[in-house]
Amino acid sequence: MNGSVACMELMQRMTTEQKVAQLIMPAFRQYTDSQGKRQDVVRMYPEMERILSSYPFAGVMLFAMNLKTTRAGVELVRAIRACSAKCPDLPGLLLAADQEGGSVTRLGQGTQTPGNMALGAGGDPVLTRNCAAVIGRELKAAGLDANAGPVLDVNDNPLNPVIGIRSFSDNPELVATMGRAYLEGLGESGVIGMLKHFPGHGNTAVDSHTGLPCVEKTLEELERVELKPFAACVRAGAEMVMTAHIQFPQVEKQTYRSKKTGEPVVLPATLSRAVLGGLLRDRLGFEGVVITDSMGMDAISSHFDPLDAAKLAIEAGADILLMPVDTAAPGGVKRLEDYVRRVAKAVEQGVIRPKAVEQAVLRVLALKERHGLLRAGEIPAPDVSVAQKQIGSAENRKTEWEAALRAVTLVRDKGVLPLSPREQTVVSVPFESEVHSVRFALDRLDLLGDGPEIVCPAEKGDWEKMLRAPVLLAVSACYRVNSLLTDGAKDPYVERLRQILADRKKQGKVSVVISAQLPYDLALYPDADALLAAYCAKGMSEDPRFASNGVVQYNANLPAAVFSVFRSPCRFSGRLPLSVPSLESLSGGSRENLFDRGFGLDGESTCKRKNQTGR
């Protein structure tokens, strides 16, 4: 993947500052004006225009506040491209976003797709590839070139606070299979995938956004689990890899004196030559572009001087420094310009090896050459009308719905499914946005007129309805396992629901629970007659039937689960993509699973029994 003669000649014409800029990908999520007012960046501001016209950055990372609507997002992309094109013979920008699917999406009116854990539950690589192709087509229509995905983290630590349903599974083989299919789907659409977070963020109990995680695994242990998906996708031709701000002291021994604590800290993977050079480049044979995770995250910014972090990352083998400066803060754009100059000065003085900079620049230019981004003046701008037809289209949402239905996993049914629309049923959800999700499902079942009553318990009357209803369908959403275990952090909705289920069981009333987010909360509801998992609790900002702009972003997972509960005959094809420990095991009291990975009921046998007995 070395650069061509054209890349070499282009680099030789670049100044040191231009080379350094080619290794930086900023973001412009928000802008603080001279009065101190912070606003979301949905249009070009003069300072942004000046810096984007002056420096050939590696690219720009776009976020949800930039892409609220398709029209606004495309117009911003066009403005960014126009700034870059003022220097037509310099490299163009690589525009990217975190459109992982499920809980992490950026296109405000785009198709979310069910997310990685749901795709892992569905177990179909073809469907995973199709969902990734949807993501790719929509990003491409918006004028973007790369997606920060697939997530290849193996979520084998239930206490992980940041990965969770963003992971396909706790099984490295399944993560590798689905990750490769995802990468292929993006590639079909002409979008570059970024494997993340190398060498793996799945076995941490600390979020690198807010702390510096440490994984005490040997190289052999990493090769058995964390590295398998990355190795598979590198062999499949991956062009970009994103690093993790995580310490691996069994691999990297070098330390740095933390500016926060004054104590030595082991260099995290992002700054580690042993990890990026030794593991990724040498052992896995990766020759493409290495991009860091955001350099503004606490794991880096709290412990490392910004210039030292740049030197360590570049000399370790990183090619693009993602968001090293907070441009949203007052004077942020000016500080970005100062940062470029400071790093360039360090290169000219030999503090940062010029050879390392040039090698990184050539890798970035080679990537851009392969994707038609080598000359800023030759990159076509996206078309608003084309984007509006593609993004959130009926065809794309059909793929999303199919994947969401396939993911719904039934792990318990005492012969109560499918629920009958003729019975008095109360559907309980913890968040108001999920009311729209339930209505959407009931509409698809033609049950809105005389179907179940939907409540979002906030008053005593709602709790009483849940207790007295002949049939209860309740939605539970676990975002962190700590909320299931720590008294001070326990969710009051979950605690009240557990008591209501116990009381209903004594009364012989039917209760069904949908685990809408992390499936670990399945362990909380022994008194439910049926248990299902949906893998993403994201609701809807408005009912799609009455969307004011004709297209609205919504997540299909919860609607698909509600739809499946009432659908007759009942069919379920999802299988747990990870093991669900018992509550005692989550608390550290034992090592037993309540449900093993791969478990799931098809629903047909209980459905037949119910039809024969009439319950």
Contacts of 268 by beta carbon, 8 Å cutoff, 6+ apart? 208, 212, 244, 245, 246, 247, 299, 300
pLDDT number for residue 210: 85
pLDDT number for residue 483: 73
Burial letters 408-439, b for 16+ CB under 10 A, else e: bbbbbbebbbbbeeeeebbbbbbeebbbbbbb
Q: Which of 524, 551, 520 is nearest to 533 (CA)?
A: 520
Q: pLDDT, tens digit, for every residue of 261-318?
A: 999 999 999 999 999 999 999 999 999 999 999 999 999 999 999 999 999 999 999 9
pLDDT number for residue 614: 42
Can you spell out the DSSP letters for 505-519?
Answer: HHTT-EEEEEE-S-G
Alpha-carbon distance of 450 to 285, in angstroms, equals: 61
* Structural class in CATH, domain 408-613: alpha beta
Contacts of 24 by beta carbon, 8 Å cutoff, 6+ apart? 57, 58, 320, 321, 324, 339, 340
Contacts of 161 by beta carbon, 8 Å cutoff, 6+ apart? 204, 205, 206, 207, 480, 482
The residue annotated as part of the active site, out of 209, 298, 383, 602, is 209
Contact predicate 358/15, CB 8 Å = no
Q: Which CATH architecture has domain 21-388?
A: Alpha-Beta Barrel (3.20)
pLDDT number for residue 586: 79
What are the tokens at 221? 């242990």
Contacts of 547 by beta carbon, 8 Å cutoff, 6+ apart? none
- Domains of the chain, by residue range, sit at 21-388, 408-613
Task: Identify the helix (H) or strand (E) that includes residue 389.
Answer: helix 384-390
What are the tokens at 359? 């090698």
Give burial (CB, 10 Å; 0-12/13-18/19+) of 107: buried
Q: pLDDT, tens digit, for every residue of 426-479?
A: 999 999 989 999 999 998 888 866 779 999 998 888 999 999 999 999 999 998
Burial letters 278-312, b for 16+ CB under 10 A, else e: bbbbeebebebbbbbbbbbbbbbbebbebbbbbbb
The residue annotated as part of the active site, out of 98, 153, 170, 293, is 293
Does 245 participate in catalysis according to the annotation?
A: no
Does 293 participate in catalysis according to the annotation?
A: yes
SS3 of 574, please?
A: coil
Low-confidence ranges of the chain (pLDDT < 50): 1, 611-615
